[in-house]
C-alpha cells in the first residue's frame, strides 16, 4: 500500500534507492453509491452503473494545453502515455480506468500532466463512492503502489480534477488535487485543469 495523501499534498516520485520513477501507472477507480435494487422475490439486482472517464491533460510551463489522452485518443502524440480503455460501469475491484505513462518519454515541452475524471452521461458525484487516484511504479517487480488519494467529496458536480504529476528538478512529483468541476469530457475540463497549475 502506497502513501495515503490528503487533498493538496505532494510526493516526490523517487525510488527507495534515490533514482527517479520512470514508468508509472495512474489508476482511477470508483463505485456506484446507488442502493442495490431488489427484484422479484427480493433478489438483488445490480446498482446503477456509473460511467466515469479518466483523462490526462498535458500542459507546458505557460499553461498551454499541448495534448490530451482520453477514450477518443488513447495515446499521447509523444508516445509517452497510453489509456488502456473505457470502463462503462465502474464495476469490480481495483482500478476502473488506467493511464500508463513513461515519464522518460514525455516531451521536454511538457511541465505538468493533470488527471481528471468526468461523467459522460452527466451522473453527479453524489451517485459515486470510493473514488480514488493512485500511482503505481510499473518498472518495479510486483508494480507496487507509490501513492493513493482517496476522494471523499460527493456532490452535484459531474467531474473532478483528481491529481497531477509535475516536473520536479530532474524527476517528477505527484500531487492530490480533488477540485470539483463540471463537464462531459476532457475537452470541458481544460480550463479548470489549467487553474490548478
Q: What is the CATH number of the domain that holds 16?
A: 2.60.60.30
Total of domains in the chain: 1
User: pLDDT per residue over 55-65, tens digit each?
Assistant: 999 999 999 99
User: pLDDT per residue over 107-147, tens digit each?
Assistant: 999 999 999 989 888 888 888 888 888 899 998 888 889 88
The pTM for the full model equals 0.87
pLDDT interval class at 192 (50, 70, 90): very high
- Would you say residue 39 lies in a domain? no
The secondary element (H helix, E strand) that includes residue 149 is strand 145-150
- Would you say residue 41 lies in a domain? no
- Would you say residue 59 lies in a domain? yes
Amino acid at each position: 500500500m502506497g502513501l495515503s495523501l490528503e487533498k493538496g499534498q505532494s510526493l516526490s516520485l523517487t525510488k527507495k534507492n534515490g533514482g527517479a520513477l520512470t514508468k508509472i501507472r495512474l489508476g482511477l477507480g470508483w463505485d456506484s453509491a446507488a442502493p442495490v435494487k431488489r427484484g422479484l422475490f427480493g433478489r438483488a439486482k445490480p446498482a446503477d452503473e456509473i460511467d466515469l472517464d479518466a483523462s490526462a491533460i498535458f500542459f507546458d510551463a505557460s499553461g498551454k494545453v499541448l495534448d490530451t489522452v482520453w477514450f477518443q485518443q488513447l495515446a499521447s502524440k509523444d508516445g509517452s502515455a497510453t489509456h488502456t480503455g473505457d470502463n462503462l460501469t465502474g464495476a469490480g475491484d481495483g482500478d476502473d480506468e488506467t493511464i500508463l505513462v513513461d515519464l522518460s518519454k514525455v516531451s521536454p515541452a511538457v511541465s505538468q500532466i493533470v488527471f481528471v475524471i468526468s461523467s459522460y452521461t452527466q451522473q453527479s458525484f453524489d451517485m459515486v463512492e470510493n473514488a480514488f487516484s493512485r500511482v503505481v511504479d510499473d518498472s518495479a517487480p510486483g508494480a507496487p503502489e507509490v501513492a493513493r488519494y482517496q476522494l471523499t467529496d460527493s456532490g452535484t458536480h459531474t467531474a473532478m480534477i483528481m491529481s497531477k504529476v509535475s516536473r520536479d528538478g530532474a524527476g517528477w512529483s505527484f500531487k492530490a488535487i480533488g477540485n470539483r468541476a463540471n463537464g462531459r469530457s476532457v475537452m470541458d475540463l481544460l480550463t479548470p485543469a489549467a487553474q490548478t497549475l
